[in-house]
């Protein structure tokens, strides 16, 4: 009966041991009062922590790592870091790059993967890292819904991953963009993305 309930709440069935929790950029520079502050990051962090604690050995935390200085960036990224020079690593205190303290406590067995761009899949070793562990399903949490999470989700579906977006474990500075994207995922990517609550995901991840 439980299996049937899982299948009905998640149209393509329950998650298996080929699933991993991919948590995007839950770092102090976004959680604390900096110019990149995401106001409700701390509101969703307990939900993210609950998922990570349920499967710590199957959790990957990413960290967004700016260049040392703007001149090291290519193309429009240089203009980006000229605008946000206070977030280059020559100016930003290193502790702001760290994960939230409650997440750091799970490492190890959770893994931290640093990335230089919005999506971790732009790092050449990330997809092989998942493939070597036979991961074909990703439960995505973190921030921001309309920037790094968006880039990650689109790259993941292009590579054939089954993507679960945990609707109550994402955050953004824009409520409207957050809500619009959750609706967009549900309406336009129905065979590749499932938008579900953390409760539904954890119930189905046996």
Note the pLDDT tens digit of each residue in 15-73: 999 999 999 999 999 999 999 999 999 999 999 999 999 999 999 999 999 999 999 99
Question: pTM score > 0.75 for this model?
Answer: yes
Q: Coil, strand, or helix at residue 140? A: strand
Asked whether the predicted pLDDT for residue 170 surpasses 80, the reply is yes
Q: Using only the alpha carbons of the chain, give its radius of gyration.
A: 17
Chain position carrying tokens 């790094």: 148
Q: What are phi and psi of 51, to 5 degrees?
A: -65, -45
- Residue 84 lies inside a defined structural domain of this protein: no
* The pLDDT of residue 166 is above 60: yes
For residue 74, tell me if it sits in a domain: no
Q: What is the pLDDT of residues 99-145, one digit of tens each?
A: 999 999 999 999 999 999 999 999 999 999 999 999 999 999 999 99
12, part of any domain: yes
Predicted local distance difference test score (pLDDT) of residue 52: 98
Inform me whether the pLDDT recorded for 95 exceeds 90.
yes
Q: How many CA atoms lie within 13 A of 3 on its CB side?
A: 1
The fraction of the chain above a pLDDT of 70, given in percent, is: 96
Domain CATH for 189:
3.40.50.850
Q: Give dist(CA 135, CA 156) in Å, integer.
A: 11
Whether residue 17 is contained in a domain is answered as yes
| Counted domains in the chain | 1
pLDDT at 11: 77
Contacts of 12 (CB under 8 A, 6+ apart): 162, 194
DSSP state at residue 40: T
pLDDT of residue 14: 87
Position 6 pLDDT exceeds 80: no
Q: What pLDDT score does 9 carry?
A: 64
pLDDT at 7: 39
Indicate whether 78 belongs to any domain. no
Give the CA dihedral 169, 173, 177, 181, nearest 10 degrees: -20
Q: Is residue 57, in this structure, part of any structural domain at all?
A: yes
Residue 13: pLDDT band (50, 70, 90) is confident
Residue 72 counted as domain residue: no
Across 49-53, 188-192, 201-205, the highest mean pLDDT is recorded for 49-53
Cβ atoms < 10 Å from Cβ of 206: 11
Range of the domain at 107: 2-67+98-204
Q: What's the CA gap between 139 and 159, in Å, rounded?
A: 15
Q: Which two tokens stand for residue 46?
A: 């307990």
Whether 160 maps to a domain, the answer reads: yes
Report the C-alpha gap between 23 and 25 in whole angstroms.
7
User: CA angle, corner 8, sides to 4 and 9, nearest 5?
Assistant: 120
């Amino acid at each position: 009966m439980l299996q049937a309930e899982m299948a009905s709440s998640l149209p393509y069935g329950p998650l298996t041991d080929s699933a991993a929790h991919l948590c995007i950029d839950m770092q102090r520079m976004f959680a604390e009062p900096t110019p990149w502050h995401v106001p409700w990051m701390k509101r969703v962090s307990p939900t993210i922590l609950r998922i990570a604690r349920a499967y710590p050995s199957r959790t990957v935390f990413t960290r967004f790592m700016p260049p040392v200085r703007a001149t090291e960036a290519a193309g429009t990224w240089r203009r980006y870091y000229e605008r946000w020079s206070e977030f280059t690593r020559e100016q930003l205190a290193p502790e702001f790059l760290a994960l939230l303290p409650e997440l750091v406590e799970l490492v190890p067995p959770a893994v931290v993967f640093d990335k230089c761009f919005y999506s971790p899949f732009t790092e050449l070793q990330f997809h092989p890292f998942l493939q070597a562990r036979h991961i074909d399903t990703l439960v995505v949490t973190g921030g921001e819904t309309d920037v790094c999470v968006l880039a990650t989700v689109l790259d993941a579906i292009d590579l054939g991953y089954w993507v679960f977006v945990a609707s109550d474990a994402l955050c953004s500075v824009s409520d409207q963009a957050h809500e619009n994207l959750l609706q967009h995922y549900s309406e336009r990517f129905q065979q590749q993305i499932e938008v579900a609550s953390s409760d539904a995901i954890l119930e189905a991840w046996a």
